Amino acid sequence: LLTLRVPCVSPHRLEELQLAPLGDADVHVKMLAAPINPADINMIQGSYALLPELPAVGGNEGVGRVLGVGSRVTTVTPGDWVIPADAGLGTWRTEAVFPEASLLRVPSDLPLLCAATLGVNPCTAYRMLQDFETLRPGDSVIQNAANSGVGQAVIQIARASGIRTINVVRARPDLPKLVERLVSLGADHVITEETLRKPDMKHIFKSIPRPRLALNCVGGKSATEMLRHLQPGGTMVTYGGMAKQPVTVPVSAFIFRDVKLRGFWMTQWKKDQAHTRAGLQSMMQSLCELVQRGQLHAPACTEVPLEDYKAALEASMKPFTSSKQILVL
């Protein structure tokens, strides 16, 4: 059992551990693939809202195959694919024994990288599109950090529902290539942060309505400028703060345009659903069906063997990164 641990004495190291015994309500899982997400990095750095007791195994997301089950396990059987039901499970390992309640079954015919990246970014995108504004076909959404995992999922889920997207990215040397990729996913408009602040934006709204929903993963000026383009009464949802700057809102936006500011954290949503799995299972079924219909694909990924985890961690923290690092286990 190889495990990427995050101990007190060192930021990270690879260790070989003894596999825990299989209890009556436990599931023995062979992990197949697990991504490195920004929240994983924040947890290692000690700056995330959810911090495990150290030493701990890294990784909040991934997919594994069931090898064996305890005598009281009823929801999965050997051969099934499973993903974490919540954050903090510790997925950067080759094998593990997990409680049955900590796992969700997913169809084993999903593409491996789709299954490995299904539990965080697509869920976040799905909930934000569903829970804050009643969006109908023809409506539009604006988002920054559109090349992120969440951003790519927003584009695809919105397109499947007939919702138009305005996608804001930072200028970069390979901008035409990035624009081409996002358009291939279903993006209606891809613009830079600089364009967002220019009068040219009015041309976009000749063909599509102003957005009723803005999704903010950056903060700072980017959030303020997106807010300017919302319809009166619209909502901006903040789910990240890549710029590490506060969200600043003009008083006039509150008084004269009645905009609403909300926040979203997928981990908290799952905690709120702890009393029943109905909402979580319904969402996962909808996302799996989108994948099976070819309407939701994995983000751009780079597969890395677990032994090369240091390179993967370094790559995941580089600027202008559009490819998610996936540990292959």
CA distance 113 to 95: 18
| Selection from 168, 206, 212, 164 nearest residue 188 by Cα | 164
CA atoms within a 13 Å half-sphere pointing along the CA-CB vector of 219: 10
The secondary structure of the chain in percent helix, strand, coil, rounded to multiples of 5, reads 30, 25, 45
- Of 48, 126, 239, 309, the active-site residue reads 48
Token pair of 191 as six digits: 């613009």
Angle formed by the axes of helices 149-160 and 121-131, nearest 10°: 50
159 burial (CB, 10 Å; 0-12 / 13-18 / 19+) is: middle
Residue 7: cis peptide before it, omega within 30 degrees of 0: no
Catalytic annotation present for 309:
no
Active site positions, annotated: 48
